[in-house]
Amino acid sequence: MNETVAAFLKHILQRHLERKQNRSVVIMESADIVDYVCNMYIGPALCILGIFGNIFNIFVLFRGRLLDSPYVYLKALSFTDMFALILSLPYLLFTKHSDNFSPNVYNAFVFLPVVNLLTAASVWITVGVTIDRFIFVKFPLLARSYSSGSRVKRRIFTIYTFGILFTLPRYFCYSLVNDLGVYRMEFTPFRDSAYYRVYDIVCIIIYHFIPLVIFVVINTYLIVAVYRARFLRQELGIRNNREQDWQVEQRRFTITLIGIIVISIVAIFPSTISDFSRLTNLSLHEYKLLRNISNLLLLCNLSMNFVLFCAFNKRFVRAIRTIFNKRRNKTRIYISFKSRTRSSRSDTCVVTRQHSFISACKM
């Protein structure tokens, strides 16, 4: 009887171990599939679209004479996102799984620290324009002095300076090891130390947790403010067209910012979870799966600003139309000038031929 019970318990234990192994195999396979699809197809496609979209944003923001302080933030944001995507594209396509020396140098000392700097700067530039918009909506009299162009440029410079100083420890996290001509990155003693763990927690709080709280609180307030302003406009029936257009334009920019904040929240929240999971006993494959999803969302965050500008910001769309209408008019003027020049030349040739013919007949 005891042997039968022991055999039954052994059978149950074996089945449990088999199920656990099968589950781990499924997790490994799904993590590898997600990693391959994200790095080889979706990620590079988002990078290419985002690079061209941000280049177009920069072109319109500068040529469209959008000089207000919020657009100074958007110019810096477009430059930051563009360079982050430019550095991410070769990493995804070529250097991530390379065993050569130069690609690993790029990964350890260019891509990882610089892209961390750029993504952190992108987050805090978005925080800056969010706070400015909150002050504009909540305290309109204070907004003019607080959000001047020179002060916005100083804030952007401060964000980059603080980001560079805070990124310096990341240059001491990896060392290159040569194993019979095969190069790979390995953690340095500093990367495995308690100091880096403290530094990592501080980075998560500064670059993920605090911006996330600011985004959620201010975005909620802005959504309520836009909702109330729409009904207030309908009740008051503003007659001054200039004032109405100005208020509609400000509301549109606020809606654009709300869209940027929502995408930032969606992108930052999984990244925050994955960063905190490094401090737990999460398995490597589960962390890899979570990290790939969060990286994909961050790439979407860096690439989607052009769509938001065109969808919600009418002033941005008007700037696009103005630029292309000017170019079209210049092209038409050039073509008409060419056609007139050719026609005048042909008329001159005809007159010259007629004159020579008349002179020949007189002779």
In SS3 terms, 164-207 reads as: HHHHHHHHHCEEEEEECCEEEEEECCCCCCHHHHHHHHHHHHHH
- Looking at residue 4, its pLDDT comes to 52
Distance between CA atoms of 146 and 151, rounded to whole angstroms? 7
Residue 339: the pLDDT is 57
For residue 261, the one-letter residue type is: I
In angstroms, the CA 58 to CA 47 distance is 16
Residue ranges of the chain with per-residue pLDDT less than 70 = 1-32, 34, 229-249, 274-285, 310-312, 327-363
Degrees, nearest 5: CA angle 186-187-188: 115
pLDDT computed for residue 148 by the predictor: 78
Burial category of 15 from C-beta neighbours within 10 Å (exposed 0-12, middle 13-18, buried 19 and up)? exposed
Distances in Å between the Cα of 270 and the Cα atoms of 33, 89, 264 are 19, 21, 11
Residues 6 or more apart whose CB falls under 8 angstroms from that of 224 comprise none
Instruction: Residue 81: name the closest of 44, 50, 49 by CA.
Output: 50
Helix (DSSP H) and strand (DSSP E) numbers for the chain: 13, 2
Which residues does 80 contact at the CB level (< 8 Å), separation at least 6? 118, 121, 122, 125
The set of residues, in sequence order, having a beta carbon less than 8 Å from that of 48 and lying 6+ positions away, is: 89
Which is nearest to 86 in space by CA: 302, 327, 336? 302
Handedness of CA 260, 264, 265, 270 (dihedral sign): positive
pLDDT in tens, 217-247: 988 888 888 777 666 665 555 545 555 555 6
Q: Per-domain residue ranges for the chain?
A: 27-312
Query: Dihedral angle at the C-alpha atoms of 237, 238, 244, 247, nearest 10 degrees?
Result: -80
- Architecture in CATH of 27-312: Up-down Bundle (1.20)
Q: Name the helix (H) or strand (E) containing 19.
A: helix 2-37
Query: How do residues 263-275 score in pLDDT, each as one tens digit?
Result: 888 777 777 776 6
> Are 324 and 331 a contacting pair, CB within 8 Å?
no
204 bridge partner residues:
none
Burial class (CB in 10 A: 0-12, 13-18, 19+), 8: exposed
